[in-house]
Each structure stands twice: as C-alpha cells, then as structure tokens.
Structure 1
Amino acid sequence: MMDSSLEFCRQKEDLVRTVRTLQVTSQNTLQKTVPLLSSHMGLGLLRPFHVHQLSEKTTQVCRDLEDVGNLLLFRQDELIQTVSVPGTGGSSCLVWCSDGTLYVCGDNGPYIHVLNSQGKPSQALYCCDDDLFLPDSIRMTRLGSVVVTDIAEGAVRIHNPNSQPPWVKVGGHFQSPRGLAVDSSGRILVAEYTAGTIKAFHIDKIHRVHGIKKVDGLQGPQYICATPDGGFAISEECGDVKLFTNSLNPCGSISETYQHKFGNPSGVCADPEGNILVADEQKRNVTLFPVTGSPICIVSKGLCKPAGITCSPFGLLYVADSGDNTVKVYKYRARPYYTPNSPRKSGDAQSQTPRA
C-alpha cells in the first residue's frame, strides 16, 4: 500500500507539473509575441508552415488536455446500488425526480412502480382506463403529472388522480409511440417507432393539445431525451443517436461527431452540463459523450440488457436493466455538483441549464 500510494502521488505531481509547464510557457509566449504582432508589419523569420505546424500541434494538445480533464472527472463501473423492481418482467424506462424518487415501468405488468430515494417501493400506479395497458415510456410534465406511451394501443396518457378513470388520453392516435420526453418549454415529444417520426405538442391544464409539429425521416426511433440547450436527442434502433434543435431542426449525430459506432443504441439522457449518455443494448454498456473531448465508456460490465437511463445532478446514473428486472445505480462523476459554463451548442435557443 505504501508503494502504491507513493506511485499515485508521483503520477499526480507529474500531471500537475506538465499542465503547469504548458500554462507558463504559453503565457510567456503570449507576452512576447502579442506586442510584436501588434507593432510590426511582418512576421520576421516565421514562415506559413511554422504557423500551420504550430496550429496542428496546438489543436492536438488541446484535445489531449480535454481528454485528461474528462478522464479525471468521470468514473467507470462504479456500481453503488442494485434495486430490484417489483414484478416478473423487465424494467425498460425510468425517470428521476428532484426529491430522489424513481418512477419505473416496463414489461412487469400494468403498473408504474415508484421507488423512494433508498430504492424501496413506496407506491404503484395502476395502469387502467377502459382496459389494462402496459406503459412503454414514462416522463413527468412540468406540472408534476405522469405521462406515458402505450405502443400496443397507439396512445399517450396522462395520469390525473382527480378523474375517473385516472388516465386521460391526449393527442389522438399515434403510430407505435415509444420514446417520450418533455423539453425545457414543457412541450411533450413522442417518438413514433414504425412511422419514423417525432411529434411535439403542448397540452393545457384540461389536457387539450396545441401547436402540433412533426419531424420525419428517422429509422426506428426509440428513446428520446431533452438536452439543456432546449433541443433533444433520440436513439434509432440499430442505428445512431440524432441531435435536434429546439425548433426541431436536425443538427448532427453522435456517431458522426465522435466517430463512434453503435450496436443498438437504446436509452439516452443528458446531464445538466450537456454531456449525452447512451446505453447500447447490443454492446451492454453505457458511453458518455462529453461536450468537448472523446467518448468515455462509463459502464463496461455488469449489464444484461440496458434499456432506459436517467441521471441526477448529483453525479449518479440510473440504468433500467430489463435483462434482470433491476435498476442499477452508478456514480459516474468524481465531483457531484455541476457548474456548467458552456453546455452543448445544438440549437437556436440559449441554454436552459439549471444550476445545482
């Protein structure tokens, strides 16, 4: 243990010394060159290839430093809790609430299970209106109501405990509604799996639908999540994770931006800093795609069939594992609280990022 501790201390000292040297050298260079570049017409003996070479090396060093910072901040396979979900089926979708509770649904019957902050079942919402139904995806509206999709019946329902029955259908008929999200403006986003579309709309207090808009051209859209900049990300079965602005315009994809190849991307979520996390059902892992830097696999083992995922602003990742009907909780950050300064730029609206 003594040798190991000494080695860790040496590694930390080497890293601090390296970063400090870069900082001091770049600062000294700036102090020398800025006055010369400001007052002289020419570049002296500096040639274009010198400038090009310096630019390329600087770009690579900046990337390396970003990766170092991310590797220091994030953690891998740090499982802190495994929660068994009531029922015999598989848990496939979940949502974390600010009071620490989890809402979980899946193939374990016509129920939405509510787990307290310790992972213990505290309540079960019975899914029945004219008949029983199985919720496929779940989200919370800005008013605190539970909204779910029902792929079998092609319906989106909101839970209203004051009505009878307590589930109210909204938005008419959908073609295989699967993924579900609520964006920063309170708009509901529904991914229609077979149609390859996303429908976006607002609902009022009496559950009337307003301002319906649609996105076409997706290939088997599955899970969808809002991003802090007002846009959203959506996973396509055996495909990619696409990014959209708050005005529903496409703005790229994860695989193209990060040169990453997915197996079958399933659950997707974004943390308050704008980092996007994606579960891969085929590869049985979860990868984090930072705002800057290279992808990081934060869960590489222990998953059977990862489906829905969500994260909290305290550095915790929750994975609904439908393979063994559990929710696995991971600590994926070394520092729990967020201080976001530059969230992911993907939209034409300013960031809605909350501060912890």
Structure 2
Amino acid sequence: MARFWVCLAGAGFFLALLVLHSRFCGSPVLRKFAFQISWRTKEIPYRLDVGWPKHSEYFTGATFCVAIDSLSGLVYIAQRGDNIPKVLVFTEDGYFLRSWNYTVDTPHGIFAASTLHEQSVWITDVGSDFMMLWLHGERGTGPAKFNIPHSVTVDSSGRVWVADRGNKRIQVFDKDTGEWLGAWNNCFTEEGPSSVRFTPDGKYVIVAQLNLSRLLLVAAPPVGSIGNCSVIGTIQLADQVLPHLLDVSGKTGAIYVAEIGAKQVQKYVPMNSYFPSFGS
C-alpha cells in the first residue's frame, strides 16, 4: 500500500513539473502530452516515441502529409496555412533541418525518393494552379471504381493497394496490367481507410482511419489471393487527432503519422527498439 502512494505521489510531481515547464519555458511538451496520454495499444508491437521531434514549435499549420526518404534519413512534412512554411524537413531522429514555401499552395500528399546521386520530393498540390493530364477509373462502388481514393502503395509482389476511403475499402491491382485483384472491406465498416503503407518486412499493412483517430495493424496476405482483412491490433489516438496520411521508414520500421487535428506529426517505433529520439 505504501508503494502505491509513493508511485501516485511521483506521478503527480512529474505532471506538476510538466505544467510549470510549459507555463514558464514555453515548452510544447504539455501540448503533445495532452494528445498522447490517451493513446493505447492492444497486441501491437509499436510504442510512441515521446522525444520526436526535438522541437514541435515548427508545426504551425495543419499537417496533412509526411514522407520518409529512408536512403537519406530525412522526414518531409507538408502543412497547410497562411504565411507559414509549407514543407518542413527533419532528420529521422527528430532534428529540424530546414523549411521552404516555394510554389506550394495547398499540399495534400507527399512522396520522397532518392538515389545515390539525386534527391526527389513529389507533392500533391490541390490548390488552384494545376493541370489535369490524365484520369483513370471512375466514381462508383463496383470493382475498380472509386469514391475518394486517398492513398496508394505498392507491395513487394507488385500489387497496388488503393485506400478507397469513400467506399470504406482497400482495392488491389496488378501494377503492370492494372487487373483488379480484389478488395478488403470487412475491416472498415465504421470508417474508410485514409492511408495505407506496408512495414519493411512486408508482414503488416498499416492503415489510418481519419475520423476515428485510429491506426490499424493488418496482416499482409501472401502472394496470390488477398483473402479477407485481418486486424492484428490497433492504436487508438486521442479524439480529434485525425490521422490523415502516414509513412513508414524503410530502415527502422518507424511509423510517422501526420495528424491534421493535432497539427503535428508523431512517430511510433517498433517495440524491439529503444527510443532513439528521447533525451539526446
């Protein structure tokens, strides 16, 4: 019983320090803590990296998307808002490097890819200054039809996975022929998927559900039939965090989540790793 009261007193003292530090030092810790304290996991091999990024004050708008350049170890984040940097660049361990606001109006998605000789960043800009070059598919509920297709990724077998958010399903296609290979909808009866990515080992699919403020860890199917969706675990975020798009590091397996409600990006690391960003 004495141990219980000692632990309780210690927890209260720690919380009081957080409040005082936030009040007098302008620290973003308390703001992040309010969003992170209610997250919980169930049979899921990830944990929140509370030390990422080192300084969250660079998040000054609605963080719509995030992309990982695993070759260079860089994290690109695009945010919306007036008179703010639209793209932020961090290292994977949380250090801010630079920002820019050139030619970007209303970023919605971002993709980063590098070779040994060149870095490339692609941004989906839904502002007024764009041109439609081509369009594939049409609106509808049948196979190969879409309603708010929101995220695309390709697995190691050459299958293209599309988060068909409005139809509450993920559709799968052959990347070379475009053949429709099937769809998952049994996991998304409450809310459609807003983002889909694979873990580096190809064993799991990480799915974001925007309005539920939830991440799903889904078992990836073997080569061949995609079968039915099977949820292995969930990460329940705080209300109104609104995870929009996510990306996964090809080196560390860390998950980076762009949250438009919380106006921040959070990092989740595999349970078998340490907190590389905390206290360093």
TM-score by length of 1: 0.42
The 1:91/1:307 distance shift into structure 2, 3 A limit, reads same
- 1:211 pairs with one of 178, 185, 203: 178
What SS class does the counterpart of residue 265 from structure 2 fall into? strand
- AA in 1 matched with 2:265: V
Show the counterpart of 2:73.
Answer: 100
Structure 1 residue 322 displacement after superposition: 2.8
Aligned: 1:322 with 2:251: no
**Does the Cα contact within 8 Å between 1:150 and 1:177 map onto a contact in 2?**
no
Corresponding residue to 1:198 among 156, 160, 170: 170
Question: Gaps (5+ residues) in structure 2?
Answer: 1-42, 139-145, 275-280
Q: Contact 1:232–1:244 (CA<8 Å) still a contact in 2?
A: yes
Tell me the alpha carbon deviations over residues 221-263 of structure 1, each in whole angstroms, 9 at most, x when there is no partner: 2221124337734345548835442546234422xx55xxxxx
Give the Å deviation of 1:331: 6.0
Structure 1: distance between partners of 2:63 and 2:262:
8
Partner-residue secondary structure (3-state), 1:194:
helix
| 1:91 has 2:63 as partner | yes
Q: CA separation in 1, counterparts of 2:225 and 2:57? A: 35
What is the match of residue 236 of structure 2?
280
Q: May I ask how many residue pairs the two structures share in their alignment?
A: 206
Counterpart residue identity of residue 105, structure 1: A
Contact 1:103/1:114, CA 8 A, preserved across alignment: yes
What is the aligned-residue RMSD (CA, Å)?
4.8
Is 78-87 or 212-221 further displaced after alignment?
78-87
- The structural deviation recorded for 1:176 is 0.8
Match of 2:87 in 1: 113
* Distance change (3 Å), C-alpha of 1:138 and 1:169: farther
Whether 1:226 aligns to 2:174 is no
Per-residue CA deviations over 1:239-297 (Å, capped at 9, x if unaligned) read 8835442546234422xx55xxxxxxxxxxxxxxxxxxx5434468xxxxxxxxxxxxx
Segments of 5+ residues of structure 1 without an aligned counterpart are 1-69, 154-163, 204-208, 259-277, 285-303, 337-356
Instruction: Give me the whole-angstrom Cα distance separating, in 2, the residues matched to 1:111 and 1:168.
Output: 28
Post-superposition shift, 1:91? 0.8
Residues 226, 232 of structure 1: 8 Å contact kept: yes
Higher Cα Rg, which structure: 1
Aligned to 2:226: 249
2:150 — aligned with what?
A: 178
TM norm structure 2: 0.51
- CA shift in 2, pair 1:251/1:149, >3 Å: farther
Kindly indicate whether the alpha-carbon contact (under 8 Å) linking 2:69 and 2:75 is maintained by their aligned counterparts in 1.
yes
- Equivalent position of 1:5 in the other structure: none
Give the conservation status (yes or no) of the 8 Å contact 2:197–2:248.
Answer: no
Higher relative contact order, chain-length normalized (CA < 8 Å, sep 6+): 2
1:1-356 maps to which residues of 2 (within 5 A)?
A: 78-84=50-56, 88-98=60-70, 99-108=72-81, 113-117=87-91, 118-124=95-101, 126-127=103-104, 134-135=107-108, 137-140=109-112, 171-173=136-138, 174-185=146-157, 187-201=159-173, 210-213=177-180, 214-215=182-183, 217=185, 218-219=188-189, 220-227=192-199, 228-229=201-202, 232-236=205-209, 238=212, 241=216, 242-245=218-221, 246-247=223-224, 249-254=226-231, 257=232, 279-282=235-238, 306-312=243-249, 313-314=251-252, 317-329=255-267, 335=273
Higher helix share: 1
Q: For residue 309 of structure 1, report the CA deviation from its aligned partner.
A: 4.1
Q: Helix, strand or coil: the match of 2:167?
A: coil
